[in-house]
Amino acid sequence: MSRVGRQTFVYDHPPRIAARTSIVGPKEGKGPLSDQFDILLDDDLLGMKSWELAEGEMVRRAVDHTLKQANLSADAVQAMISGDLNNQIIASSFAARALGIPFFGQYGACSTFVQSLVLGGALLSGGFLENAICCASSHFCTAERQFRMPLEMGTQRPPQASWTSTACGCALLTANAQPQDLKVCSGTVGRVVDQQIKDANHMGAAMAPAVYDTIVAHLEDTGRTANDYDLIATGDLGWIGRNLLMELFKRGGVDMPDGKLIDCGNSLFSQEQDPHAGGSGCGCVAAVSCGWLMRRVESGELRRILIAGSGAMLSPTSTLQGETIPSISYAVCIEGGA
Amino acid sequence: MSRVGRQTFVYDHPPRIAARTSIVGPKEGKGPLSDQFDILLDDDLLGMKSWELAEGEMVRRAVDHTLKQANLSADAVQAMISGDLNNQIIASSFAARALGIPFFGQYGACSTFVQSLVLGGALLSGGFLENAICCASSHFCTAERQFRMPLEMGTQRPPQASWTSTACGCALLTANAQPQDLKVCSGTVGRVVDQQIKDANHMGAAMAPAVYDTIVAHLEDTGRTANDYDLIATGDLGWIGRNLLMELFKRGGVDMPDGKLIDCGNSLFSQEQDPHAGGSGCGCVAAVSCGWLMRRVESGELRRILIAGSGAMLSPTSTLQGETIPSISYAVCIEGGA
């Protein structure tokens, strides 16, 4: 069975993660997970002349590093499934131009990395691809310029705002498994959920109901409970959003032990680094997953995890027009190899 | 075999197109194809208070009309694979919010409709979905505001500029085939190609090399020639871009009979309507395909067609930064039913 319930794909031939790369920027590299990433940038411009070009270069380096780890050339990869927060996803498409890999541009806001794993998992399990790059990135400076205020203005951020991370995560899915490689076992496709939050600085509140909707769908579709997972990681709700999600589970009668659920945005930064509500951005869940979380599964510390990425599908235009914030979440189940 | 060559998916279980809807705006509805569309809008605001909301409402109506044609409820559809030109694809995500269908947000600029068919075809053929909505939209007024100048300025457009169409096309792919339904037989995933065009008004020139790259890959992967197709439709190169594409075929030694290749953007408008270089926008190839082209296959006039959608992956930011225009093209093969 390739699909169970309405929203969940179960991969009959679970793709393996042959290699992966996590890159984080200077602030992220000083956080509590600093020794869990592959590449720590000391210059968030990466030697480029604009932040947008820098983000594209970060994606290109992440893919390049991943291919080198797997000892593969770009020619051996049939698809790059990737996106970012920039208008018209220029970080991913500029990287895809440099790499020459057939490209599926995705937009799921900060859920994009998990969206790409869910799609990539299906395309590999279905025999359409042999190797696929699943990737997402974000950059604090491109996101602030685009969604909020030019950094040069030095605008004060409200306490409920999250800090868009400068980060990129990239996973190479392969049908040519090595027994020790991590498995992508199932994926749940989210619905767009909107609980009428209008504050574009309060994304944890906007996204928590979407994450609730998707995790509940995943558990119902698969007939599992939270206890079937060693860890459930959201990305990224931040401290406020995670509390709201726990409240939703409580109200909905869903058993979710408090220690079971962590948030990537809360893990990337310490509160002393003053990210306000926590880390966010496509790159946060991508880098924390490809770095810290997958390492813990690989080491055997965790056997099976669920990563629930979430995205706020707002635009600066919809915010200016007074619209509420539609949100979405995708979930993917990762298990250890043999 | 689910994939042939590097870039082409061949659908072992070709999904069928159970229903489809084409919607066009007032100007498009006065063009040469006016009797080929399902819904002609007489108000490009659709009763909404902004063009962005109007575009989302157009998408919602297209999906709703398609589901009614197929006598299906939204609950019976497991995925909406859709995108548009708006920053953060708000037309599609706002429609997905209204519909409640699990959502895969896509961004391939004007190639998005074909990208969604290529992905949807794989997800259905692989058994992951039973019913999927593949959709894309564009709106002249949202696109001008975002990519070029506010309409209120009355800026003169250069002759090489195309006219972003107000249009939407939506196809319901299903695994529950009726013998007469059209088949989605194969799809080719494009690479990002950039021949250093910098003029954001000259998109036909930027995209023609990407279309060339994808059509050549499709023919090589499938071992076919242009003569295996009754028609090859590009979308949307416009008059200048189509001439450049024919020149590329000639230089590349690819046999492409002149009458075989049409462009959706050249078909949507007459030159008397003064669209300058031709129609463009995600909605153009989507509506022309779901209206005119698929009707011709359904009637038996055409037996097998190839639709090659193309997108210019620029953003207003990349244009202001002086970057060249990366482009992409996806191709999908549609055949008549029994």
Write the pLDDT tens digit of every residue in B299-316. Answer: 999 999 999 999 999 999
pLDDT of residue B151: 86
- Residue of A7, A93, A111, A125 to mutate for B, most B C-beta atoms under 10 A: A93
Residues 232-251 of A with CB under 8 A from B: none
Which of B96, B128, B314 is opposite residue A126, by nearest beta carbon? B128
Residues 6-45 of A with CB under 8 A from B: 6-7, 9
| Alpha-helix runs per DSSP H in chain B | 51-70, 90-99, 112-125, 140-147, 203-222, 238-252, 264-268, 282-288, 294-298, 316-320
Segment A113-147, tens digit of pLDDT: 999 999 999 999 999 999 999 999 999 999 999 99
Across the A:B interface, residue pairs with CB atoms under 8 Å apart total: 184
pLDDT of residue A177: 81
Distance from CA of B301 to the nearest CA of A (A): 31
Do the Cβ atoms of B75 and A123 come within 8 Å?
no
Residues 73-92 of B with CB under 8 A from A: 75, 78-79, 83, 86-90
pLDDT of residue A278: 95
DSSP assignment of B156-209: PPPTT--EE--EEEEEEEESS--TTSEEEEEEEPPPPB------TT-HHHHHHH
Alpha carbon distance, N-terminus to C-terminus of chain A: 22
User: Does residue A172 have a pLDDT over 80?
Assistant: yes
Q: Taking the mean position of all CA atoms in its chain, how far away is CA A333?
A: 13
Question: Which residues of A fall within a CB distance of 8 Å from B87?
Answer: 87-88, 315-317
Do the Cβ atoms of B189 and A79 come within 8 Å?
yes
Which of B79, B86, B328 is opposite residue A103, by nearest beta carbon? B328
Do the Cβ atoms of B190 and A103 come within 8 Å?
yes
pLDDT of residue A1: 60
Contact between residue A223 and residue B133 where contact means Cβ atoms under 8 Å apart: no
Distance from CA of B147 to the nearest CA of A (A): 11
- Measured between alpha carbons, how far is B20 from B37 in angstroms, rounded to an integer? 10
Do the Cβ atoms of B83 and A321 come within 8 Å?
no
Q: Does B189 touch chain A (CB under 8 A)?
A: yes
**Residue type (1 letter), B8:** T
CA atoms within 13 A on the CB side of A72: 25
- Measured between alpha carbons, how far is B335 from B186 in angstroms, rounded to an integer? 10
ipTM (interface pTM): 0.98
Q: At what angle do helices A90-99 and A51-70 cross, to 10 degrees?
A: 50
SS3 A193: strand
Q: Which residues contact B331 (CB under 8 A, 6 or more apart)?
A: B114, B118, B187, B188, B190, B214, B215, B218, B306, B307, B308, B309
CB atoms within 10 A of CB B150: 11
Question: Which residues of B fall within a CB distance of 8 Å from A2?
Answer: 126-128
**Average model confidence (pLDDT) across chain A:** 96
Which of A2, A7, A313 is opposite residue B90, by nearest beta carbon? A313
Q: Which residues contact A38 (CB under 8 A, 6 or more apart)?
A: A21, A22, A23, A65, A290, A291
- Measured between alpha carbons, how far is A235 from A90 in angstroms, rounded to an integer? 22
Do the Cβ atoms of B105 and A97 come within 8 Å?
no
Question: Which residues of B fall within a CB distance of 8 Å from A313?
Answer: 88-90, 93, 97, 105
Question: Which residues of A fall within a CB distance of 8 Å from B119?
Answer: 104, 119
Percent of chain A with pLDDT over 90: 94
Rounded average pLDDT over A248-256: 98
pLDDT of residue B152: 87
Instruction: State which residue of chain B sits closest to A194, comparing Cα positions.
Output: B97
Question: Which residues of A fall within a CB distance of 8 Å from B130?
Answer: 3
Q: Does B55 touch chain A (CB under 8 A)?
A: no
Q: Does B100 touch chain A (CB under 8 A)?
A: yes
Contact between residue A15 and residue A175 where contact means Cβ atoms under 8 Å apart: yes
Do the Cβ atoms of B317 and A90 come within 8 Å?
yes
- Which stretches in chain B have pLDDT values below 70? 1
Q: Is the CA virtual torsion A142, A143, A146, A152 positive or negative?
A: negative
Segment A215-226, tens digit of pLDDT: 999 999 999 999
Instruction: State which residue of chain B sits closest to A315, comparing Cα positions.
Output: B88
Bridge partners for B235 per DSSP: B309
User: Does residue A148 have a pLDDT over 90?
Assistant: no
Distance from CA of B163 to the nearest CA of A (A): 19
Do the Cβ atoms of B321 and A52 come within 8 Å?
yes
Question: Which residues of B fall within a CB distance of 8 Å from A77?
Answer: none
Alpha carbon distance, N-terminus to C-terminus of chain B: 22
Q: Which residues contact A214 (CB under 8 A, 6 or more apart)?
A: A7, A188, A190, A191, A308, A310, A328, A329, A330, A331
Residues 114-153 of A with CB under 8 A from B: 115, 119, 122-123, 125-130, 146
Question: Which residues of A fall within a CB distance of 8 Å from B106?
Answer: 104-107
